[in-house]
Amino acid sequence: GDVSRLTVTRSFLGRHRLFAAALGLGLVVRVITMLGFPPAIWFGGDSASYLSTALYHAPGTSRLSGYGFVLFLLKPFHSFAVVTAVQHLMGLAVGVMIYALLRRYGLPGWGATLAALPVLLDAYQIELEHEILPSATFGFLVMAAITLTLWWRRDRPLWATVVAGFVLAAAATLWPVGLPVLIVFLLYLAVRRVGWRAFGAAAAAGAVPLAGYVLWFHGHYGRYALSNS
């Protein structure tokens, strides 16, 4: 019952108390940021471009507009504070994934916590999470793909490889640097000799968001591209 759940929770926090303290401090700093700079930090023409995509469903011509889909999904809340709150939670989630992955690979609690501190407490990281920019979402998607790729040292499930490829391609529609990251991921799969089935499924999953974006861009501007820049 409730007593057993409380015991399990206390035991879990006891094993990971150092990271729990760092995560709690990261949460406090983010709450202070939201209270001090409500509702978000606006970044000139970039933020306006992404908001335009969310409102009018047309990609920008000078930058990738995948972040507009994130704003579109959060549009029903009619609140930039909700956007920044979600992005701050993404930042905390990245810290959790870093810690969990490193502990799984044998690092002690203090070492894994130390590796997560730059994401949890760095002022520039928290600023990026508070801006109407794709930075936080991009970082979250890339870290999620890394976690899915490395969580299983052997016998990785096919679904994890496929989802990782799809997530990295989705990240590539937010920032152009996501595309070489996707290529590195596919090269990693080839070097690890995961087999043609897994490699082909990951490549196909990665092609879906990119092809969809290119077709979307063509539908508005008449050329197959990710942008005009």
Query: What tens digit of pLDDT does each residue of 129-161 get?
Result: 999 999 999 999 999 999 999 999 888 999 999
Q: What pLDDT score was predicted for residue 4?
A: 66
Q: What are phi and psi of 131, to 5 degrees?
A: -95, 155
The whole model's pTM is what?
Answer: 0.92
Cα Rg of the chain (Å, integer): 19
Q: Are 63 and 227 in contact (CB under 8 A)?
A: yes
Query: What tens digit of pLDDT does each residue of 54-74 get?
Result: 999 999 999 999 999 999 999
Q: 155-164: string of b/e by CB count within 10 Å (b at 16+)? A: ebeeebbbbb
The pLDDT > 90 percentage for the chain reads 90
Q: Which two tokens stand for residue 207?
A: 């092609």
More confident residue, 71 or 14: 71
